[in-house]
Chains A and B, each alone.
Chain A
């Protein structure tokens, strides 16, 4: 798929709802199309974090590896979700493993390219930061709820 044909997919993605067209165009310049087969690892804990992904179809799992026991899934992500914000925060390393649970298609954005564009255009940077702040807030709330183990005790 050529870069330009990615524009409608990006514009439709919930993460980018309401984003100005000129900003979407800037994103297109850092975007490419990717596909992951079932079982394929997209990144591993400790890897450099130079990409993030907009999932179009399929499902990805974030895992923490436990010695002698293998990976435990801590979160699954699917169409409409965005994966990875470590590219925003130095020193840009991954904190989880990420595996495709099923055939998954996504648009990958190059983190280095995005950081450059955000530095050049602060408005774009602010828009991206705002959206990631929402994702982080949702994930933090979900994590707190998960930690409460609400179904463990009585209601």
Chain B
């Protein structure tokens, strides 16, 4: 088990749960792809688990190494298990990757504003995910499917680099078999085993069966991909204020105090990470931000 300093064992929940990490135990680890893995965590003390809204994130502390923001990728209707899907990119995510079942991490959160799943009721929903961007969108998909009758057509467009990089394969296959959900997966580069679509995820937008005038789009992925996805949606006739994106910026406090995550006049941790594209449109292309 990773070393857990005494001073980190503060588990008061409430407001201090936002400031001091609470211990969670790793119950299961799934290796999704070569560089991505999913942790299933259980609270060390709170049997009710961690209630969250789709699109919210936690600050996850690997003791002795550091803290990183990670979106919650589990089912909001099953808060007893906390699920995070992580791609290894540096020291903290690397250390997280080396932990084993039974090890402990510190959790602060949940933080931020999530996907507008309630406001979107009555509309078609188009979910566009690229790479690891499917993780923050999965809770929204669980919610949409759990309340299926409240929405029109639901479309998931997912792009990955290669077939080996596709996340949540089994779940995607299950979703694809449903009659009330349209799932399209595409890869940038195919291989001999791949019979599906090849091309970037934005190429799926024009033929996608949703009504652009009565749809809400939820997008998460690399920023370039999100920009191109917004262009494709607007070309199809969607209103800019019906498009939502999830932003990432370096974070420290997670509660709007330190200014690390500032994005123009907004704090990504507090005002986001999910924003209406309308509120960001003047910032999105600014290189210095």
The number of chain B residues with a CB under 8 A from chain A is 35
For the complex, give the distance between the alpha carbons of A57 and B161 in Å.
Answer: 26
The 4 closest A-B pairs by CB, nearest first: A151-B131, A151-B161, A73-B190, A150-B222
User: Is B161 within 8 A of A149, CB to CB?
Assistant: yes
Mark out the residues of chain A between 18 and 64 whose CB falls within 8 Å of any chain B CB in the assembled complex.
59, 61
Given A76-B198, A151-B165, A154-B89: A146 touches B188 (CB 8 Å cut-off): yes
Mark out the residues of chain A between 64 and 106 whose CB falls within 8 Å of any chain B CB in the assembled complex.
70, 72-76, 78-81, 101
User: Is A155 within 8 A of B199, CB to CB?
Assistant: no
Known: A72-B191, A150-B222, A151-B165. 7 other contacts (CB 8 A): A78-B197, A146-B199, A149-B188, A150-B225, A151-B131, A151-B161, A151-B221
- Which residues of A approach B to under 8 Å, CB–CB? 14, 59, 61, 70, 72-76, 78-81, 101, 138, 141-142, 145-146, 148-152, 154-155
Identify the closest chain A residue to B184 (Cβ): A78
A-B interface contact total, Cβ < 8 Å: 74
Given A150-B130, A152-B161: A145 touches B198 (CB 8 Å cut-off): no
User: Is A80 within 8 A of B206, CB to CB?
Assistant: yes
Given A154-B89, A155-B248: A145 touches B202 (CB 8 Å cut-off): yes
- Which residues of B approach A to under 8 Å, CB–CB? 87, 89, 130-133, 159-161, 165, 186, 188-192, 194-200, 202-203, 206-207, 221-225, 228, 231, 248
User: Is B132 within 8 A of A155, CB to CB?
Assistant: yes
Most buried by A among B89, B160, B165, B199: B199
User: Is B130 within 8 A of A151, CB to CB?
Assistant: yes
Of the A-B pairs whose beta carbons lie under 8 Å apart in the complex, a sample of 9, sorted by A's number, is A70-B192, A74-B198, A80-B207, A146-B188, A146-B189, A150-B224, A151-B160, A155-B221, A155-B222
